[in-house]
Amino acid sequence: MSLLQGKKILLGITGGIAAYKIPLLVRALIKQGAQVRVIMTPAATDFVAPLTLSVLSQNEVLSSFTTPGKDHAVWTDHVALGAWGDLFLIAPATANSISAMAHAKCNNLLMATYLSARCPVMIAPAMDLDMYAHAANQKNLATLAAQGVHVLPVASGPLASGLSGKGRMLEPDALLSELETFFGHTAPLKGKNILITAGPTYEAIDPVRFIGNHSSGKMGVALAKQAQQLGAEVTLIIGPTAIDLTTLSCQVTSVTTAQQMQEQVMAHYAATDIAIAAAAVADYRPKIRMDQKIKKNNQDFQTLELVATPDILAEMGAQKTHQFLIGFALETTDELAHAKNKLKSKNLDAIVLNSLQDPDAGFGHDTNKITYIDKDGNSTPFDLKSKDAVAKDIFSQILKNYA
Ligand code: C5P
């Protein structure tokens, strides 16, 4: 069941260009079984049509204090609106509206509803990079956060001004995840600490070259988001990746080498309830890291001498006390047998096998095809799916085993 099933979402839209993306969010929320009521500032109605939002939300869209009645205007009860919602999400939240919220300026229906709302409030800021970074705006955001408003991060990238930087509203799917995370705090993994390793590691040969692999970190990030949606406290330890980690709201530690990943993992391990090792850790590193770039014609460097990196997962297995430990196996031959051996030799509770045999599965792809193998050797194969859907499958299996 979706975490959003039956949830009442009051959705405030203020006048920024990112408003054009909100119909997609409304559609996704309705699809997940949520009820949605939309309130817009007058400026927002210039950016996105109220009719679109009313069709998608299956509710009347409100933007003024009164609506014309038979003989005279009828008052819109903003207090009742504020009492209706389980959560009030304001997205996009412009600098102007953030300022109005911070200063209790009741200049439109949305602000009146905000000031009278009793439910939790979440805002997704959206503005130009300099406006976002401006000390006055940051002060307003800090004021709201101190008052208990959930202030979401912004994403980096191209802005309507033509500039590029921090200020973009989170995309509708990221907003959806934030809402799921919010409602997930009453969910099955509430209070559990989950440690996830992800991405590749890079082992330096010299200042410009390294030994690495094609891991993108996408599977580990999908697992981290899913764990959060189930209410867990998530620590993600991730190697070099192109993924924008600034939009994640879990604890993220970026590392480069296997050694650094091991240090970070072991620092968190004692307090961990469930650990998932999705990282593709380099198995070897150069014995010597050269301080200067190795020249093309350097005859001494025709052969690279390697030493083993720490096997982080094996170390977690050896030191296991109460932790539920899940590894990944990427095999090319005799897959099931190798994965089962790994499960035993590393003292795991489960292992996720992904095969390179499938053209759209594994490294770098947005999709994956897995088989989940539990401690008793029971294997459950799944179809090729998006990595987000795979993460859901993995956690549904974990929840079956994990008391
Ligand atoms: O033994 P192999 O490298 O195939 O095992 C894969 C599993 O072990 C993955 O879960 C991976 O994250 C983990 N691993 C690790 N440290 C290493 C090598 C692998 O944690 N040095």
pLDDT digits (tens, 9 = 90+) for 373-402: 999 999 999 999 999 999 999 999 999 888
Q: How far is the CA of 211 from the centre of ligand 1 (A)?
A: 16
pLDDT at 370: 94
> Which residue, among 169, 167, 172, 115, has the nearest Cα to 144 in the 3D structure?
115
pLDDT at 299: 77
Average pLDDT over residues 352-372: 81
Task: Output the average pLDDT for the chain.
Answer: 92
CA-311 nearest atom, ligand 1: 21
Q: How far is the CA of 73 from the centre of ligand 1 (A)?
A: 68
Higher-confidence residue: 340 or 75? Answer: 340
> Which residue, among 280, 281, 282, 294, has the nearest Cα to 205 in the 3D structure?
294
Q: Hey, which residues are catalytic here?
A: 213
CA-308 nearest atom, ligand 1: 21
Q: Name all domains of the chain by residue range, CATH numbers in brackets.
A: 8-186 (3.40.50.1950), 193-401 (3.40.50.10300)
CA-330 nearest atom, ligand 1: 4
Whose C-alpha lies nearest to ligand 1, atom 14?
A: 313
Higher-confidence residue: 362 or 341? Answer: 341
Q: What phi, psi does 37 have (nearest 5°)? A: -125, 130
pLDDT at 22: 98
pLDDT at 403: 66
Local confidence band at 362 (pLDDT 50, 70, 90 cut-offs): low
Q: How far is the CA of 242 from the centre of ligand 1 (A)?
A: 21
Do residues 286 and 206 lie in contact, with contact meaning Cβ atoms separated by under 8 Å?
Answer: no
Average pLDDT over residues 221-249: 91
Higher-confidence residue: 77 or 60? Answer: 60
Give dist(CA 110, CA 50) in Å, integer. Answer: 14
Q: What is the pTM of this model?
A: 0.67
Whose C-alpha lies nearest to ligand 1, atom 17?
A: 311
pLDDT at 185: 67
Q: pLDDT per residue over 152-206, tens digit each?
A: 999 999 888 888 899 999 999 999 999 988 887 657 898 899 999 999 999 999 9
Distances (CA, A) of 217 to 220, 228, 232, 242, 365: 5, 17, 20, 8, 10
Local confidence band at 218 (pLDDT 50, 70, 90 cut-offs): very high
On the question of pLDDT at 295 being above 80, the answer is: yes
Residues in the ligand 1 pocket, defined by CB under 6 Å: 197, 258, 277, 279, 281, 283, 309-313, 327-329, 342
Q: How far is the CA of 283 from the centre of ligand 1 (A)?
A: 8
Average pLDDT over residues 237-256: 93
CA-315 nearest atom, ligand 1: 20
- Residue in the block written with tokens 């939309």: 38
Average pLDDT over residues 24-38: 95
- Max mean pLDDT among 288-302, 338-352, 389-403 falls in 338-352
